[in-house]
């Protein structure tokens, strides 16, 4: 009982003992156990995962989630790099259940994941909202925003924009979003079992700081939520100041109401009040996750403030003809220039992108196709991982060791599977899932896997 999982702050334990009473001993025993390992599959890239022998059981909150009986080396699974699954804490997958209770697969939802990095909940939203929906995945910290963009790129969907903005910046988009998810920065008590550093960072003062920061975030972001729109607020903490007490404060100050979510009793999720869900490790197979579902009450006064938009620079007809050979669903797609690059954007989302580009700092949009030089596309890695890439492009299927070499950005010229490839661009695949681009020039093959993404060890 001497490891970090039981070496918890005394004041935290006193708080939990008050909250849990007779369940306190069970909670402490669970905190001394190992954290479960869980993954969530990409709904459009389903594959036989390399470690399928250690899949233990499904996560109850989503048909795409699974517990593993051991933690493999995800870095050395090519399907992880292909975006076939995301390693995600199981309790937070409950968001899937909430989305499926709120919306149908035909609903067109404009959504915002406000504190989105590293991207687990953004990719979850992309899987659970309809393809007609549109997601803005935002992260305020620049280096974390880059990681968010990487993970959304791996997921391969086109109905998403990645932004790097403060919550207050979204006031420029009044009554814009149908759904806002705020996975708020918090004191991290729910991660104590999984992350020793979070224990050392905990203090009562930090709880106070987090509580006030959460209140400010909600105040900043609510003007951009439509009347009758839904706010999902979540944390990875047990602290009532940051959870239910904050929720009650939001309701009082911002004219919100809690939304009930039908949840099976055998899931054993604690509900302090309607629409508020607290996960505990002794009751649920996961970490300490909290979430609440609120609705913004409708108002007779609809905000008619003009939202600034930006004209987009559409590609020429000649350029369009070049691009049509690279993706499916071409009749539903527009192509636009953003600086030197061309992005593919669904026609139904053009107006959304116009508003995003005009009001926010955007670092990712639709599918990054690449550049056209001398009437030929120089493709970007984003296109290789897109679920909309055409199946007509030539491919080289690698075995495991070859795939790892490719992901390390090693020379792949001598691979047998490449010898019959024609000169030019081709896709490198593993188990028929795209890993990225290579280009054959005579006897030489250039490995175009992104340098910043390569396996280093």
| Range(s) of the chain covered by CATH 3.10.450.720 | 394-457
417 is catalytic: no
Class of the domain covering 394-457 = alpha beta
Class of the domain covering 308-392 = alpha beta
Instruction: State residue 54's pLDDT score.
Output: 79
Q: Which two tokens stand for residue 435?
A: 């890993």
Instruction: State residue 301's pLDDT score.
Output: 61
- Gap between the Cα atoms of 230 and 102, Å rounded: 9
- Gap between the Cα atoms of 139 and 361, Å rounded: 11
Q: Which two tokens stand for residue 301?
A: 């006064």
Centre a 10 Å sphere on the Cβ of residue 258 and count the other Cβ atoms it contains.
Answer: 17
Count CA atoms closer than 13 A to 106's CA, side-chain side: 0
- Gap between the Cα atoms of 277 and 270, Å rounded: 6
Centre a 10 Å sphere on the Cβ of residue 392 and count the other Cβ atoms it contains.
Answer: 9
Catalytic-labelled residue, pool 28, 152, 236, 362: 236
Instruction: State residue 2's pLDDT score.
Output: 37
Instruction: State residue 330's pLDDT score.
Output: 78
What burial class does residue 87 get, using C-beta atoms within 10 Å of its C-beta: 0-12 exposed, 13-18 middle, 19+ buried? middle
Has this prediction a pTM greater than 0.85? Answer: yes
- Gap between the Cα atoms of 225 and 5, Å rounded: 39
Spatial neighbors of 233 by CB under 8 A, at least 6 apart, are: 182, 184, 218, 246, 247, 250, 291, 292, 294
Can you list the residues of the chain whose pLDDT is less than 50?
A: 1-5
Instruction: State residue 156's pLDDT score.
Output: 97
Residue 434 Rama label (left phi>0; alpha psi -120 to 50; beta): beta
């Amino acid at each position: 009982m001497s490891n970090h999982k039981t070496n918890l702050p005394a004041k935290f334990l006193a708080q939990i003992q008050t909250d849990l009473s007779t369940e306190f001993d069970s909670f402490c025993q669970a905190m001394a156990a190992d954290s479960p390992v869980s993954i969530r599959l990409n709904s459009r890239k389903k594959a036989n995962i390399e470690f399928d022998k250690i899949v233990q059981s499904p996560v109850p909150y989503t048909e795409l989630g699974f517990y593993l009986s051991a933690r493999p080396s995800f870095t050395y699974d090519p399907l992880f790099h292909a975006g076939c699954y995301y390693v995600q804490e199981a309790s937070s997958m409950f968001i899937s259940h909430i989305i499926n209770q709120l919306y149908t697969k035909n609903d067109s939802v404009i959504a915002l994941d406000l504190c989105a990095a590293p991207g687990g909940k953004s990719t979850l939203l992309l899987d659970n909202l309809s393809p007609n929906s549109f997601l803005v995945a935002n992260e305020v910290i620049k280096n974390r925003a880059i990681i968010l963009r990487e993970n959304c790129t791996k997921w391969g969907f086109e109905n998403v924009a990645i932004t790097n903005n403060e919550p207050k910046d979204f006031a420029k988009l009044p009554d814009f979003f149908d759904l806002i998810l705020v996975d708020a920065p918090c004191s991290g008590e729910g991660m104590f079992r999984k992350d020793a550093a979070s224990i050392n960072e905990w203090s009562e003062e930090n709880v106070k700081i987090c509580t006030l920061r959460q209140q400010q975030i909600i105040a900043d972001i609510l003007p951009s939520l439509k009347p009758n729109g839904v706010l999902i607020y979540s944390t990875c903490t047990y602290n009532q100041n940051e959870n239910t007490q904050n929720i009650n404060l939001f309701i009082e100050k911002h004219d919100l109401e809690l939304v009930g979510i039908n949840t099976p009793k055998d899931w054993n999720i604690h509900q302090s009040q309607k629409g508020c869900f607290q996960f505990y490790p002794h009751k649920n197979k996961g970490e300490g996750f909290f979430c609440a579902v609120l609705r913004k009450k409708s108002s007779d006064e609809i905000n008619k403030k003009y939202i600034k938009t930006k004209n987009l620079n559409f590609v020429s007809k000649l350029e369009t003809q070049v691009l049509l050979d690279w993706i499916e669903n071409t009749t539903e797609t527009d192509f636009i220039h953003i600086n030197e690059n061309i992005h593919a954007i669904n026609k139904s989302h053009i107006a959304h992108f116009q508003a995003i580009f005009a009001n926010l700092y955007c670092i990712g949009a639709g599918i990054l196709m690449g550049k056209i030089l001398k009437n030929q596309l120089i493709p970007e890695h984003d296109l290789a991982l897109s679920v909309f890439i055409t199946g007509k492009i030539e491919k080289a299927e690698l075995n495991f060791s070859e795939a790892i070499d490719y992901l390390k950005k090693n020379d792949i010229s001598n691979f047998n599977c490449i010898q019959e490839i024609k000169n030019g661009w081709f896709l490198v695949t593993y188990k028929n899932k795209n890993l990225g681009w290579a280009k054959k020039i005579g006897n030489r093959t250039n490995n175009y896997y992104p340098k910043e993404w390569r396996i280093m060890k």
